[in-house]
Structure 1
Amino acid sequence: MLGFFRWFCNPDYAEDIEGDLVERFQRTAKKKGVKAAKWLFIKEILLLFRPGIVRSPAGFGEFNQYGMIKNYFKISLRNILRHKTFSALNIAGLSVGIASCLLILIYVNNERSYDTYNHQYNNTYRVLHYFGNQQEIDDFKAIANKDYMVWGNAPVAPALKDYFPEVESVFRFTSPSPWLVSYRDKTFSENNIVFADSTAFEVFDWPMIAGNPKTALNRPNTIVLTKKLAEKYFGVEDPIGQILIMDTEDPFEVTGVIDIPTNSHFSFDGMISMTTFKNRRPEIFENWGYVDFYTYFTVRSGAGMSDFADRIPDFLEKNFTASFNYDVRMEPLSEAYLYSEAGRQPGPSGSLSNIFVFTSVAIFILLIASINFMNLSTARSVERAKEVAIRKTIGSLKSALIFQFLVEAILVSFLAATVAMALVLIGHPYLEMLSGKSLPIDWLFTPRNGVLAVFLVLALGLVSGSYPAFVLSGFKPVRVLKGSFKTSSNGIWLRKTLVTLQFVLSVILLVGTSVVYSQLDFLRTHDLGFNPDRVLVIDYGYDGLVQRKIEVIKRELKQHPDVVGASASRATPGDFFPHAGTGVEEPSGEISYQSPAIYEIDEDFINTFQMNLIAGRSFSVDFPLDSSNALMLNEAAARLYGYSNPADVVGKSFEQWGRRGKVIGVVQDFNYVSLHNKVEPLSLRYGTRENISMLSLRLNSDNYTNTLSELEEIWRQNVPHRPFDTHFLDQNFNAQYEADERFGIIFTVFSGLAVFVACLGLFGLTIFSTAQRTKEVGIRKVLGASTSSIVGLLSRDFLQLFVVSLLVSVPLSWYIMTRWLENFAYSISIGWEVFAWSAICILVTSLVTMSLRTIGTALSNPVDALRDE
């Protein structure tokens, strides 16, 4: 930077100024550090780059004249005000383009910022677990990451801490469990409370609003609440030391209040000390096969992880003794949100493909806006030809003319950037509403980003205005003043190329919008293998009092005339479910052990959810032993154990979680998770009262408000202590696609803005082209041309360019959207109608845009056009 200063500074002042700069740098370095001193040094040098200090050598004198520069700005401003329509189109297009780009950047930056609030972000990892069958595995490295789970066992955490010296802290938390929480007269059902180790604040930097992070989770029966949950129960009252009654009987002391940042890849409403869990069920903390924990750990700064994976086999050999195949991998925290393929994530994952799509849209919009500017500027070159010729005749240098036109382009860019910042401030709340996320914006206004923004807007002006500047400054004054000047064929071809590129980008965006909405509609209407409509789910969270009366409650609810089916289960489609080590007799007669998902249900589950039984039978009260020696599978599980014909697995022996018996039936595959994933193997076993946590009621009612009120009254009569916590299954299941729905809306909005910006440019070019052909139109009308033929004549060139653009945009958009659809296990096929619809929409929009000007020109009085001939 000092070399740059010496290059531009006037030699008469350089030595004195440089000495002051160096002295100030040294003082700042001592007080605030070298990094702060460097930033101040750069800032001061940039501020010194101004008239009066910049050197004025031969050949550059005109750039160091304050009066000349002032004149450039004055002329540029006059030109902008004189040509209001073109200036408004340029500023509007650029401002919308810049604002859209910034809004997308805000969203993308938030997606890429997940978990970066942790000071040990680069030194934090989490454990991925693989639970396989008993068949020998030669090389675990050959197993894909998607076959591993983040969800795992408890004993791996202390074992890691003991075996690997580079591990500093290990933190575990469980999956959320439901609790009935009471404080004075307030009672709520909370479904997002976890058990957590006391080392939570050694691994994650969650701001502690109240309490001591070192001791908050040390003792049994203590709980740390989030700020939101603390305010829900205590309002403005100090929560520290207060007692919450959990599940009607257990007192828990509030020892802390935290605020989890919104860009955390997992969150919860409360943490109960892990010692509480350990005191209740100490045996699972030694069980490598019990799965209910997420494990994160930090390593020493600078510790190499290159040989960590190589030591895993020895680590497991010394610590793991069970008979099933088991392996672990370490995944960096930096990959948890956007890059992880592992199953059973502790929270929603981001989409790298969506980020790519949004970034591409941002580039497209800014590119379209820049194309508009270049097109309109080069199109106006004929109008400014005489101005350039006269300037050259009286001695203006080509470099001065280039500088003049670049100043005008840069001025338009800065005006557009100013409008764009206002649009960003207006649009930011709507973007948060559409995305359903809190999107910090303050980082945009840091001094560093301010300087960067100035340079980027300057670059945008230079890039957008460079070609018009060089074209305009290259005119031959003799030819222009003689009247023999014609528009360069190179300029015409450039405009045509840029317009074609605009059409290409617009078609791609519209095809993308069409595919996104078609896929979302497909997700909503796809046959799931069960009927989620009109199913009311009552979640009572393993409440022991409810479990003991569940048969009575279920019977009374079924007596309601609007209830046509009722079932008790541990989970419903779209909910949390466990996996179970399950052995089933294969066709060879040997027992094969796999780990399918497990649903614990009662005898009414299949009928209530209107599933299809394709082999054998369902659980039944007519077979009392079903609760201990019967198992059902789905088709995927039957195939997993080697049965292509589902009927062949019926009657085969099984072993699962302490039960032995026979497979009694096979249910048709149903999507119990989102359509992003294929139907995985599933086992269904009869659930005991202790493992059942919800009731599902199929309703047939025309007045849901009245029905729900009556069902709630029945519930209160039987369960007065517990709230009537309900949701409709279709809403809960469809919540899995909320992120996809939001993506579709945001994508559509910004695609629409891109097409709008393209239309602005097309409208501007139409104004110019019709103005250039006014006399031709007048002559044609005098000779008898119809209005429709003139409109067709003025639109023909654009239509030709549109046809060319389709040849490029159709295959390109097909490739891009085919790759996007790969994120879904079940997806639409992109048919020709998608491209036809998109092409027609762009064509109609373009014709309407052009018609705003072409029809007026075609209807004009030819006398006005030919009056001066």
Structure 2
Amino acid sequence: MQHELSYDRYNTRHDRIYRVLQTFRSVEKGQKITAPAPEDYQVWGCAPVGPALAADFPQVKEMVQFMSPVSLLLEYGDKRLQQENLICIDSTAFKVFSWKLLQGNPQTALVAPNSIVLTQKIAEKFFGHTNAVGKTLRVNNGDHFTVTGVVADVPANSQIAFNGLISMSTARKWREDVFSAWGYVDFYTYFVLKDHADIAAMQAAVPAFLKRHNMEDPGYTIAFEKIDDAYLHSKASRQPGPVGSMSNIYLFCCIGIIILIIACVNFMNLSTARSLERAKEVGVRKVLGVQPSALRWQFLFESILISMIAATLAVALTNLSLPVVSALSGKDFAPKVFFSGQLAAWMVILTLATGVLAGAYPAWFLSRFQPIAVLKGVFKPSNSNISLRKALVIFQFTLSITLIAGTAIVYTELKFLNNHDLGFTKDQMLVLNFEGDDQVQQNLESIKKSLADQPGVVSVAASRAVPGEFLPNAGTDIQGPDGQMTNKIPLIYEIDFDFISCLKIPLAAGRNFSRAFITDSTQAIVINEAAAKLYGYRHPADAIGKKFSQWGRQGTIIGVVKNFNFRSLHTEVEPLTLRYGMPGSLNRIEVAIKAEHVAATITALEKTWKSVAPQRPFLYYFLDQSFNKQYEADQHFGYLFSLFSCLAILIACLGLFGLATFTAQQRVKEIGIRKVLGASVYNIVVLISKDFMRLVLIAIVIAIPLCILIMNQWLKDFAYRITISPGIFIITAIIALLIALLTISWQTIKAALANPVESIKNE
């Protein structure tokens, strides 16, 4: 929880850093536009808004913009690496964000064109531990960048992560025109608010600001969001990095509290169950004049002392288990960072609270014993005491069963995600990443043919991106059912002639791109069913032949593909247009390979690649693996949920085992007499077990609706989700009963097999 809640708080001025959220909505002429919902905003926006804000609002102290990450081939000497996650950023970066520059001058490091600041990890790959400033890297077999700084690796709890920073003046050399285009989207804008400045006043002035700068687009507006809210509370799309889940934090917090409560319940249960053993001690102390309040403090102190010993052991165990928890959660928990002063303070508070919670009732209960009754031997536990113990058993097993069922639902949903028909083929699909290399693009068709000629290759295609990767939006006019051109902003895929057939994306109407039609590369698009619906077509076939205009290209719709999940199943299929991507716009080659001899096929492809594109390293990945990375956070959630569930169940079973042991000891003479009178081992086992099993059954009845309520909330995060079936709860009930039965069976069978002579010889 501490790690998740601390995102971006490493920035010294995090409480005054804001980012600009932007909306790009289609508005018809004369249409009244409503205020955008939080979900309508995106963090990814246009460039001109940043300088305009800095110029118009005196409240802005510093402003910084950066672009979407790029991947570049970096070369120094004999070291040649395709480096991902490099971002072009303004020279004010170190004034806004608290990134520590280890080498170089923060004032000038990102000023000159072709300047690059590397992270410490990447700098050491190229230059070892020597000073990197002033050294030159060859980029994409052409340009040369000068290393102007080395920055400490970005903290793990940062939404903005990178391997290197490139000066924004370099990006201006590449494409100067986009910096003045209000409709071009590829920038993230952040700013620092001056001391005592009012962000609400800035937001109120936005309408006037937009009238001055962007009057032609009524669908465009902006809002401001605090960086502290970016990771956990933002509903905006197109985030610059990962986002967390506040509901998951609440859930794990609840699970942690549940585990503590179950442990406290065990302590209360066993303390009150063992009351007979301490009754004479209490009686003697009271006769000797000890006040009830002193007894209460004694028993409470015993509980707190046990809690303190447990906390000491817990810290040691936590230190040992951090690598395991890191692997399960996908987070990097370093002990020196994890054990902070803040956490130590919380540990002390938690330890004392746990001790008090666990010991308060037993202390009150034990201190109320009447000394005369106890010393005469006529003391017996009251019915209320027994009822309380039963209620506590029901309570802890209700929580444990809820967690068992919750674990089953989590894994059923994750299995559903993995097995869901996405509408395209991702298995045995090798993706070659050439990152828009000029020579590859110029010879793309011949390279594809060379790859397709290799044994084990089924088909080859090319595209700008593959499912699961980033896609841009494109303002697109399409002729509607009324014959009028309607402007919307669907997503866009740039592909070649073979992409749809290679990935086996089925058509709902019309045809695929074809080399037989010369105009398909310049005057045709294919849309998906969601896009057809967006433009008003109930039946996909009705959209065929309709006119379109998109990014300087006009023509007709030639086909409609069925909806396929090109993004995570967390979201519904969005409207999508697919158009032929001219050389210069493609980055990936998809190779469908046979399941047999995969290693040999990859070896043959690598050999071919080195001959047709020697200037590029052979970089590949499998589409199914990259696509499934979208569910890594869900997988880690499932691992942790299972771990904590098992822990809670184990603690509940320990309490049940102790209670069963005590019960068997209390009834040892009764069991002996029953055996003498002819009761079988089976009769004795059933006699002792049935009361506990009845309590577990009551817990099952209570746990089922509780689990449905909680897990339905969790499932809301998925557009495609399972329906919670009764079968999950039937299996859960059986598992819970078996766990309870196995827990108490050792003691019940042991008691049933005991020699009755030993238990009743003193009567």
Taking structure 1 as the reference length, the TM-score comes to: 0.86
Q: 1:348 aligns with which of 242, 247, 254?
A: 242
* 8 Å Cα contact 1:539/1:725 also seen in 2: yes
In structure 1, the partner of 2:485 is 591
Q: 1:625 aligns with which of 519, 532, 542?
A: 519
CA distance in 1, matches of 2:357, 2:30: 58
In structure 2, the partner of 1:472 is 366
SS at match of 1:691: coil
CA distance in 2, matches of 1:447, 1:199: 33
In structure 2, the partner of 1:301 is 195
After TM superposition, list the pairs within 5 Å mapping 1:751-790 onto structure 2: 751-790=645-684
Structure 1 residue 396, shift from structure 2 partner: 2.1
Q: 2:707 aligns with which of 791, 813, 836?
A: 813
* 8 Å Cα contact 1:364/1:505 also seen in 2: yes
In structure 2, the partner of 1:557 is 451
Matched, 1:614 2:535: no
Matched, 1:537 2:431: yes
SS at match of 1:740: helix
The CA RMSD measured in Å over matched residues stands at 1.4
CA distance in 2, matches of 1:801, 1:785: 24
Question: Do the aligned partners of residues 446 and 560 (structure 1) sit closer, same or farther apart at CA in structure 2, a change above 3 Å counting?
Answer: closer
SS at match of 2:518: coil
CA distance in 2, matches of 1:111, 1:762: 35
In structure 1, the partner of 2:272 is 378
User: What amino acid sits opposite 2:589 in the alignment?
Assistant: L
Cα deviation digits, residues 466-493 of structure 1 (max 9, x gap): 1111111111111122222110222111
Matched, 1:183 2:57: no
In structure 2, the partner of 1:54 is none
CA distance in 2, matches of 1:222, 1:668: 46
CA distance in 1, matches of 2:432, 2:624: 14
In structure 1, the partner of 2:611 is 717
Matched, 1:791 2:653: no
In structure 1, the partner of 2:46 is 153
User: What amino acid sits opposite 1:123 in the alignment?
Assistant: R
Identity of aligned residues (%): 48
Structure 1 residue 165, shift from structure 2 partner: 1.1
CA distance in 2, matches of 1:308, 1:792: 73
Of structures 1 and 2, the larger Rg is shown by: 1
User: What amino acid sits opposite 2:717 in the alignment?
Assistant: N
Question: Do the aligned partners of residues 447 and 828 (structure 1) sit closer, same or farther apart at CA in structure 2, a change above 3 Å counting?
Answer: closer
In structure 2, the partner of 1:250 is 143
Q: 2:214 aligns with which of 283, 304, 320?
A: 320
* 8 Å Cα contact 1:288/1:322 also seen in 2: no
User: What amino acid sits opposite 2:459 in the alignment?
Assistant: G
Cα deviation digits, residues 191-235 of structure 1 (max 9, x gap): 211111111111100111111111110000000111111111111
Q: 1:397 aligns with which of 266, 291, 297?
A: 291
In structure 2, the partner of 1:113 is 6
Structure 1 residue 407, shift from structure 2 partner: 2.1
In structure 2, the partner of 1:698 is 592
Ranges in structure 1 where 5+ consecutive residues have no aligned partner: 1-107
Structure 1 residue 720, shift from structure 2 partner: 0.7
In structure 1, the partner of 2:557 is 663
User: What amino acid sits opposite 2:69 in the alignment?
Assistant: P
Cα deviation digits, residues 242-279 of structure 1 (max 9, x gap): 10000111110001111211110121111110001112
In structure 2, the partner of 1:162 is 55
* 8 Å Cα contact 1:574/1:674 also seen in 2: yes
CA distance in 2, matches of 1:328, 1:656: 25
Structure 1 residue 450, shift from structure 2 partner: 3.9
CA distance in 2, matches of 1:349, 1:450: 27
Q: Which moved more, 1:481-490 or 1:741-750?
A: 481-490
Question: Do the aligned partners of residues 431 and 830 (structure 1) sit closer, same or farther apart at CA in structure 2, a change above 3 Å counting?
Answer: same
SS at match of 2:387: helix
User: What amino acid sits opposite 1:545 in the alignment?
Assistant: Q
Cα deviation digits, residues 511-555 of structure 1 (max 9, x gap): 110111001001100010111000000010011011111111001
After TM superposition, list the pairs within 5 Å mapping 1:77-116 onto structure 2: 108-116=1-9
* 8 Å Cα contact 2:258/2:648 also seen in 1: yes
Cα deviation digits, residues 423-449 of structure 1 (max 9, x gap): 111111211121222124446655565
CA distance in 1, matches of 2:762, 2:337: 59
User: What amino acid sits opposite 1:821 in the alignment?
Assistant: L
SS at match of 1:454: helix
* 8 Å Cα contact 2:20/2:223 also seen in 1: yes
Structure 1 residue 744, shift from structure 2 partner: 0.4
Question: Do the aligned partners of residues 303 and 441 (structure 1) sit closer, same or farther apart at CA in structure 2, a change above 3 Å counting?
Answer: farther
Matched, 1:640 2:534: yes
CA distance in 1, matches of 2:74, 2:337: 39
Q: Which moved more, 1:225-234 or 1:390-399?
A: 390-399
Cα deviation digits, residues 38-90 of structure 1 (max 9, x gap): xxxxxxxxxxxxxxxxxxxxxxxxxxxxxxxxxxxxxxxxxxxxxxxxxxxxx
> Across the two proteins, how many residue pairs are aligned to each other?
762
Q: Which moved more, 1:459-468 or 1:538-547?
A: 459-468
User: What amino acid sits opposite 2:455 in the alignment?
Assistant: P
Structure 1 residue 157, shift from structure 2 partner: 0.6
SS at match of 1:341: coil
CA distance in 2, matches of 1:448, 1:832: 44
Question: Do the aligned partners of residues 709 and 319 (structure 1) sit closer, same or farther apart at CA in structure 2, a change above 3 Å counting?
Answer: same
In structure 2, the partner of 1:196 is 89
CA distance in 1, matches of 2:715, 2:296: 48
* 8 Å Cα contact 2:117/2:165 also seen in 1: yes
CA distance in 1, matches of 2:739, 2:33: 56
Q: 1:205 aligns with which of 98, 105, 117?
A: 98
Moved over 3 A (4+): 136-142, 321-324, 440-456
* 8 Å Cα contact 1:135/1:325 also seen in 2: no
CA distance in 1, matches of 2:284, 2:23: 79
* 8 Å Cα contact 1:178/1:189 also seen in 2: yes
In structure 2, the partner of 1:430 is 324
* 8 Å Cα contact 2:104/2:150 also seen in 1: yes
User: What amino acid sits opposite 2:741 in the alignment?
Assistant: L
CA distance in 1, matches of 2:375, 2:318: 46
* 8 Å Cα contact 2:693/2:740 also seen in 1: no
Cα deviation digits, residues 682-740 of structure 1 (max 9, x gap): 00001101101110010014121111111011000011111011000000000110111
CA distance in 1, matches of 2:374, 2:502: 85
* 8 Å Cα contact 1:530/1:609 also seen in 2: yes
Structure 1 residue 404, shift from structure 2 partner: 2.0
Q: Which moved more, 1:653-662 or 1:228-237?
A: 228-237
In structure 1, the partner of 2:464 is 570
* 8 Å Cα contact 1:137/1:325 also seen in 2: no
Structure 1 residue 344, shift from structure 2 partner: 1.1
Q: 2:228 aligns with which of 313, 334, 356?
A: 334
In structure 1, the partner of 2:24 is 131
* 8 Å Cα contact 2:260/2:354 also seen in 1: no
In structure 2, the partner of 1:282 is 176
Structure 1 residue 463, shift from structure 2 partner: 2.1
SS at match of 1:172: strand
After TM superposition, list the pairs within 5 Å mapping 1:476-495 onto structure 2: 476-495=370-389
* 8 Å Cα contact 2:456/2:597 also seen in 1: no
* 8 Å Cα contact 1:183/1:244 also seen in 2: yes
User: What amino acid sits opposite 2:123 in the alignment?
Assistant: A
* 8 Å Cα contact 2:26/2:487 also seen in 1: yes
User: What amino acid sits opposite 1:219 in the alignment?
Assistant: A
SS at match of 2:188: strand
In structure 1, the partner of 2:126 is 233
Taking structure 2 as the reference length, the TM-score comes to: 0.98
Question: Do the aligned partners of residues 561 and 140 (structure 1) sit closer, same or farther apart at CA in structure 2, a change above 3 Å counting?
Answer: same
In structure 2, the partner of 1:603 is 497
In structure 2, the partner of 1:727 is 621
Cα deviation digits, residues 22-42 of structure 1 (max 9, x gap): xxxxxxxxxxxxxxxxxxxxx
Q: 1:262 aligns with which of 150, 156, 166?
A: 156
In structure 1, the partner of 2:311 is 417
Matched, 1:650 2:530: no
